[in-house]
Structure 1
Amino acid sequence: MKNEYGKFEQLVQKLDPGIKLICAWELKGGISAQVTGLEMLQSTGRIIRMIVRQHGDNDLKRNPNIAADEHRLLGILKSAGLPVPKPYYIEQSCEVFSKPCLLIEFIEGKPDFTPSNLNDHILQLAINLAKIHHVDCAKLRLSFLPKLENSYGEMLDSKDGAILDETLNLSLIRDLLKSYMPLRPMNKEVILHGDYWPGNILWKEDKLVSIIDWEDSGLGDPLADLANSQLEILFHFGMDAMSDFTIQYKSMMLELNFTNLPFWQLFAALRLSDFPEWGLEKSKENSWKKRHKSFVRQAINQIRLN
């Protein structure tokens, strides 16, 4: 961090020549991006904080414009009244760092995996996912966002020849999905977060204050987001919490057709199956694998019933 302090000074000078950098510190928890906190002194004497986000190589390879896209999307979502960090500046010239980076709002809060009131916690998660999906895309220019269904299709192909964890029935899931692809569209495209899970939600005093990390966002069926969130909530909070989350979300999204939900649940199960990479304690890994299998079993049963 000391070696890069001068670079952060250059960055804030690009934002505002009158700002003085006081300190910079690495923020833990980011996997796909390097996240740094900055404290600065404005010429007015006011102390402010911001976040620097530098996307990782994998994200940049997938989308070289990912920084500009996230900056633009955050502006759209902020204008729509969603609890997301305000984007302040994007540095694309790579004059300061070797990669593009974003300067965004610093929001006091942190993920909460042990909420004091789980029912209210789940309700707020459902409310805010519904808010994302209710953003009126017809009035917005969103052609810069990818179609996430394309990446889901690529997920099936990318597993060809790979070693799959057959204790999780991943080959069965993949083959079943391939036999039903492409899915018939039943809902209007909406903005998708792409990775709406408890680790990407900031809380302060039991209130949801920010939804972060939008690098996986795109356009698609809202059920893709719902399914991903269902499995993450099942992992972290259990079956009752997942059921409650689903009921609450459905009550706010009456216009949706949920017929294809089991297919999106199987996609979520494929996506969230790399347990060895998560560094879990063995007991937690075993527990989550059981929940994963139960989630898959219910989805397959529902497909067969339909």
Structure 2
Amino acid sequence: MLPRACQGRSGTYAAGVTTQEGPQADVLRWAAVQLGATAAVVSATGMREGGNPWLLRIDHDGQVIDAVLKTVTPEGVAGMATEVAALRVANRAGVPAPRILAVDASGEAAGTRAVLETAVPGRSRIPLDASPQRLRGLGAAVAALHSITTRPSPELPRRTRPIPASDFARDRREGRERSTPLLDAADDRVTRLPVPDSAPVLVHGDLWQGNTMWQGDRLTGLLDWDMAGVGHYGIDLSSLRLDAALTFGQGAAGSVLDGWEQRSGIEAADLAYWDAVAALNMPSDMAEFLPAIHDQGRPDLTAEELNTRRDAFLRAAIDRL
């Protein structure tokens, strides 16, 4: 199992992480039937560290169709409901993302709570180097998401930070997470400021490159919506800017912003605040996120390098506040 803060990044609905054992026969039969009475699962391949979610190959009358099966424990029901609600909104608006094929919220039909989604073509591996075109495309895709204004609901709650399943800043204040002078000073500065206001938009809530799919430099889909909600667009924009800075260096964050502003047609507001919030909701030692980052194709990145880059991003944000 990934560290607690990476759980939402494993594609399994945050607190409801399942084991790495393969899907049971009942849920595989349920998934196949969604495509046709005579359909059958040919194979089930774990997509994150060999486990849930599962890429299914389903034979339907001689045609093999790929689909993604996600199963969840009772603790992850809220995340499951959030993903389903967010994807339905995003699909209607034309945002590149999986489509919901079927949901068994009770587990009565599938033998376990499950969601079946379309498989998005491409790869989620993070390259060693990213072209400005790729980074601008990422920013533009997120701007399209943020064109969706909506109200909070039980399934899509109001969000005030990325990765809402974790609150590292609070944990440091309460002594459950070690800290550093920079993190303490930055947190003190941010907590004295009001949360910036904006028209409430749909936010993904856990945007990093491991939750994106690509064919070359073309983004084909945004994945893993269990931390979605409604809030300021800066939650997603700064989360992506930080991720780009962590994986490619500080200059990459500017290309993400360029793509977002070109697509949205406005200048991003309160960017320094949201940059700081994104950086503060990281573990004090980025080694905690290394398994997820290495699993996405960047074993070259070390905890020391990630800590240095996170701190540089945070200092730059605080200097602009």
Same fold (TM over 0.5): yes
User: Counterparts of 2:129 and 2:320 in 1: how far apart (Å)?
Assistant: 33
User: Counterparts of 2:309 and 2:265 in 1: how far apart (Å)?
Assistant: 28
Partner of 1:131: 144
Length, aligned pairs only: 291
Residues 83-110 of structure 1: per-residue CA shift (max 9 Å, x gap): 1011100111223667522100012211
User: Counterparts of 1:79 and 1:13 in 2: how far apart (Å)?
Assistant: 25
Check the 8 A contact 1:68/1:90 in 2, yes or no: no
Partner of 2:314: 296
Partner of 1:38: 56
Partner of 1:285: 303
Residues 114-152 of structure 1: per-residue CA shift (max 9 Å, x gap): 2776111112101101111112437xx966301002886
Partner of 1:9: 28
**SS of aligned partner of 1:219:** strand
Amino acid at match of 2:71: Q
Give the 3 Å change call, closer, same or farther, for CA 207–154 of structure 1 in structure 2: closer
Partner of 1:79: 92
User: Counterparts of 1:98 and 1:80 in 2: how far apart (Å)?
Assistant: 32
Pairwise CA distance, 1:223: 1.0
Pairwise CA distance, 1:205: 3.1
Pairwise CA distance, 1:167: 3.7
**SS of aligned partner of 1:48:** strand
Q: Answer with 1 or 2: which has the greater Rg.
A: 1
* Match runs of 1:158-169 below 5 Å: 158-167=171-180, 169=182
> Is 1:271 paired with 2:287?
no
Pairwise CA distance, 1:157: 3.8
Give the 3 Å change call, closer, same or farther, for CA 276–57 of structure 1 in structure 2: farther
**SS of aligned partner of 2:251:** helix
> Is 1:51 paired with 2:71?
no
Check the 8 A contact 2:54/2:69 in 1, yes or no: yes
Q: TM-score, normalised by structure 1?
A: 0.83
User: Counterparts of 1:35 and 1:290 in 2: how far apart (Å)?
Assistant: 32
More helix by share: 1
Give the 3 Å change call, closer, same or farther, for CA 286–142 of structure 1 in structure 2: same
Check the 8 A contact 1:69/1:144 in 2, yes or no: yes
User: Counterparts of 1:36 and 1:249 in 2: how far apart (Å)?
Assistant: 32
Partner of 1:22: 42
User: Counterparts of 1:35 and 1:122 in 2: how far apart (Å)?
Assistant: 26
Give the 3 Å change call, closer, same or farther, for CA 171–247 of structure 1 in structure 2: same
Give the 3 Å change call, closer, same or farther, for CA 162–57 of structure 1 in structure 2: farther
Q: Please, which runs of 5 or more residues in structure 1 have no aligned partner?
A: none
Q: TM-score, normalised by structure 2?
A: 0.79
Amino acid at match of 2:30: L
User: Counterparts of 1:2 and 1:175 in 2: how far apart (Å)?
Assistant: 44
Q: Please, which runs of 5 or more residues in structure 2 have no aligned partner?
A: 1-19, 292-298
How big is the alpha-carbon RMSD for the aligned residues of Structure 1 and Structure 2? 3.0
Give the 3 Å change call, closer, same or farther, for CA 3–164 of structure 1 in structure 2: closer
Q: Which residue of 221, 242, 253 corresponds with 1:231?
A: 242
Partner of 2:5: none
Give the 3 Å change call, closer, same or farther, for CA 250–9 of structure 1 in structure 2: closer
